[in-house]
Amino acid sequence: MKFIVSSSYLLKQLQVLGSVINSSNTLHILDNFLFELDNNQLKVSSSDLETTMSATLEIESTSQGSIAVPARLLLETLKTFPEQPLTFTVKDNSTIEISSDLGKYVLAYAPGEEFPKAELLEDPSTTLIPAEILATAISKTIFAAGNDDLRPVMSGVYFQFAPTGVIFVATDAHKLVKYSRTDITSSTEANFIMPKKPLNILKSILMTSDAEVKIEYNDSNAMFSFDNYTLVCRLIDGKYPNYEAVIPKENPNKLIIARTQFLSSVRRVAIYANKTTHQIRLKIAGTELNISAEDIDYSNKADERLTCDYQGDDMQIGFNSRFLTEMLNNLQSDEILLEMSLPNRAGILTPVDGLDEGETVTMLVMPVMLNN
């Protein structure tokens, strides 16, 4: 078994696949890349048992076979090479030899049969989504997903496909993001919960792709195929909470303000907030928004005044500044709309401009009780 491949081309593909591999694995074989050679095509896979990802590379070869190659050793070697062709030759003594312009490097491999096989999806449903839209949907929602092991359903992103459009939701019970598109549709109704790790991997590659992503899914697994990549992952089992029930429908108090100006103020004032609660206070009256924070333990306080466009009753409401900052950072619009009803009900953030036709983003942030 022998093949020739460009060093930088191989490195680029392996760096993507390497993000699947855990730093510590219970199964030693998972520390390897699986190389499956079929003449001039090389399929490289990596897995952590939950997620398996593979890439198909064009190479020069007339051989066939499969071996598992130590991932870290190979990546560290490839990173040091300038662009050049590398020749991989599998020897009889369970070693693989890499020949470069500079020298030879020999590493031990394991038999390819030991590597766990990717899940085959039986009778899947299919939806097509442009890579750019899927990347946006992931980056707009994933930051709001929870980290609580006791509530695994809230640690992923909820995908909801229907003939009327697609919806992506993430929440950790303090904040919630709903991203929807009516310009992308699915022939059947379906919903599933995607774990965070495969979504983060997808997000980083989809940003630079202009392909169409084919999503196939059944009750337990989902498969994403695009360009030369395939990612299969196990879905989170369980019923997603009824997110529509927590989005307040009647919000008579409406505040419109420049996003970057509001974000800068919140960031500055938050420096003076209590380090445990991160609480900031918004006091709105007429066209004036007053943002303040106080840390009584250290006698720190800050107070800023901004002009805004406000319709509604004068009100005071408290928010966790970290949640508010994350949300404002994730919106790209020039102006945002903050809708509120009462100081103990959630506030709703939406972009006023900068959205595509058929695209909506709704962000919900729970208030914190103000200690007057």
Q: What is the pTM of this model?
A: 0.93
pLDDT of amino acid 198: 97
pLDDT of amino acid 100: 96
Q: Quick one: CA dihedral 267, 268, 270, 271, positive or negative?
A: positive
**pLDDT tens column, 84-116:** 999 999 999 999 999 999 999 999 999 999 999
Residue 353: pLDDT over 70? yes
Q: For 280-298, what is the mean pLDDT?
A: 96
Q: Is 290 helix (H, G, I), strand (E, B) or coil?
A: strand
Q: For 11-34, what is the mean pLDDT?
A: 96
pLDDT of amino acid 119: 87
Instruction: Of 103, 92, 88, give the one whose Cα is nearest residue 3.
Output: 88
Residue 39: pLDDT over 80? yes
Amino acid at 299: S
pLDDT of amino acid 149: 87
Mean residue pLDDT across the chain: 96
349/259 Cα distance (integer angstroms):
11
pLDDT of amino acid 104: 96
pLDDT of amino acid 131: 96
Q: Are the C-beta atoms of residues 343 and 315 closer than 8 Å to each other?
A: yes
Residue that has been written with the tokens 């048992």 in this structure: 49
Residue 289: pLDDT over 70? yes
Q: Is 86 helix (H, G, I), strand (E, B) or coil?
A: strand
Residue 372: pLDDT over 70? no
Residue 230: pLDDT over 90? yes
Q: For 362-368, what is the mean pLDDT?
A: 97
Q: Residue 371 — very low, low, confident or very high, per pLDDT cuts 50/70/90?
A: confident
**pLDDT tens column, 303-340:** 999 999 999 999 999 999 999 999 999 999 999 999 99
Q: For 209-224, what is the mean pLDDT?
A: 95
